[in-house]
Amino acid sequence: MSNDPVVAIVGVTGAVGAEFIATMDRRNFRVGRLKALASARSAGKTVTFRGKEVVIEELTERAFDGVDIALFSAGGSISRKYAPVAVKAGAVVVDNSSAFRMDPNVPLVIPEINAGRIRDHKGIIANPNCAAITALVPLWPIHRENRIKRVIISTYQAASGAGAAAMDELVESTRASLEGRSFEPKVLPLPYAFNLFSHNTAIDPATGYNDEETKVIKETRKIFEDEKIAVGVTCVRVPVLRAHSEAITFECERPIGEDDVRRLLANAPGVRIVDDRVKNYFPMPIDASGQDDVLVGRIRRDLSDPSGHSISMFVAADQLLKGAALNAIQIAELLPQRALA
């Protein structure tokens, strides 16, 4: 792979696509040439990358000729159709959809946890679910030292998880509500302004879990390489523009205290502790927005577990960054050195 790779962004006009561009620029990711790919209706428009206008091209099967790295964020159906095409053309695909995450031949990677799995790729590397990333980055340093047997997660997921159109709908519906106007939701299935609701993915009638919750359960086990870890999760959409928050309670095999958790997280990559009991100041989406780190606070012993094996905490992370674009770029940053090793 070239030290100045040709990089294609599939879904460049979306919220994550814009963050791909900004994150590559901010991290000085080496790019020989950028190919901006989107649907036919966006072809001919431009995006700005490092001070230059890049013309958007239509996504076709010929679009990946000469591409070294293809960053996908255009939904599962697009990924399933075009990722194999990109691989056949010689590109390494980092895919942000759920299309390949549970494929046993596709690494599911959070670089702070399992960067070594990148070398196992056969052309496609999957970016995990944003809610899973938010929880697992701070849980991993603990799990590595004192295995987590069971984790219960409640998510507070922002509009950004449903894309730019959902973010716009939250703004417009809030404005309408404040002005006393009616508003008919078009992107999300339920009223969003001053409301929250179960995550807008399909419910499995047999289990009662929605797709988002099932993803978190399965992806946790794959990334941690621990099929026995017990995971319970409730995913909720809240009226926040960007940055997911999560309440997490976990149980370890051995006793664990608050100071143990703070020590393990103090220098953990991708984590920043925000835990001020005196000021009642803890992780908030407004502070996590635009930040690379997962913010962690409200670290406290779970009083419902008298054995001392359980801790509760609260986390927040930018869904468009660490939950999507940043994690993918971190993977891409490791590709050249892996390829040349």
Is a pLDDT exceeding 90 seen at residue 198?
A: yes
Say how many C-beta atoms besides its own lie within 10 A of residue 229's C-beta.
18
Which helix (H) or strand (E) covers residue 49, if one does? strand 46-49
Give the active site residue among 121, 143, 244, 309.
244
Measured at the CA of 239, the angle between CA 234 and CA 242, to 5 degrees, comes to: 90
Among 59, 75, 71, CA closest to 24:
71
Beta bridge partners of 250: 151, 311
Model confidence over 45-97: pLDDT tens digits? Answer: 999 999 999 999 999 999 999 999 999 999 999 999 999 999 999 999 999 99
Q: What is the pLDDT, as a whole number, of residue 8?
A: 98
Of the CA atoms within 13 Å of residue 331, those in its CB half-sphere come to 35
**Can you read off the two tokens belonging to residue 279?**
């000021």
Q: At what angle do helices 15-26 and 326-340 cross, to 10 degrees?
A: 50
**Average pLDDT for residues 247-257, to the nearest whole number?**
98
Q: What is the CATH architecture assignment of 132-319? A: 2-Layer Sandwich (3.30)
Q: What gap in Å lies between CA 289 and CA 274, rounded to an integer?
A: 14
Q: What gap in Å lies between CA 211 and CA 201, rounded to an integer?
A: 6
Residue extent(s) of CATH 3.30.360.10 domains in the chain: 132-319
Q: What is the pLDDT, as a whole number, of residue 1?
A: 57
Checking phi first, is residue 280 left (phi over 0); if not, alpha (psi -120 to 50) or beta? left
Residue extent(s) of CATH 3.40.50.720 domains in the chain: 6-127+324-340
Classify domain 6-127+324-340 at the CATH topology level: Rossmann fold (3.40.50)
CB 82 within 8 A of CB 72: yes
Model confidence over 161-189: pLDDT tens digits? Answer: 999 999 999 999 999 999 999 999 999 99
Task: Tell me whether residue 244 is one of the annotated catalytic residues.
Answer: yes
239: burial class by Cβ within 10 Å (0-12, 13-18, 19+)?
middle
Model confidence over 138-165: pLDDT tens digits? Answer: 999 999 999 999 999 999 999 999 999 9
**Can you read off the two tokens belonging to residue 105?**
């031949």
Q: What is the pLDDT, as a whole number, of residue 64?
A: 97
**Can you read off the two tokens belonging to residue 206?**
């047999």
Q: What gap in Å lies between CA 303 and CA 305, rounded to an integer?
A: 5
Give the active site residue among 121, 130, 252, 309.
130
Q: What is the pLDDT, as a whole number, of residue 3?
A: 72
Q: What gap in Å lies between CA 109 and CA 330, rounded to an integer?
A: 10
Strand, coil or helix: 173: helix
3-state SS record for 260-275: HHHHHHHCCCCEEECC
Among 176, 250, 190, CA closest to 220:
250
Is a pLDDT exceeding 80 seen at residue 239?
A: yes
Model confidence over 33-46: pLDDT tens digits? Answer: 999 999 999 999 99
Q: What is the pLDDT, as a whole number, of residue 68?
A: 96
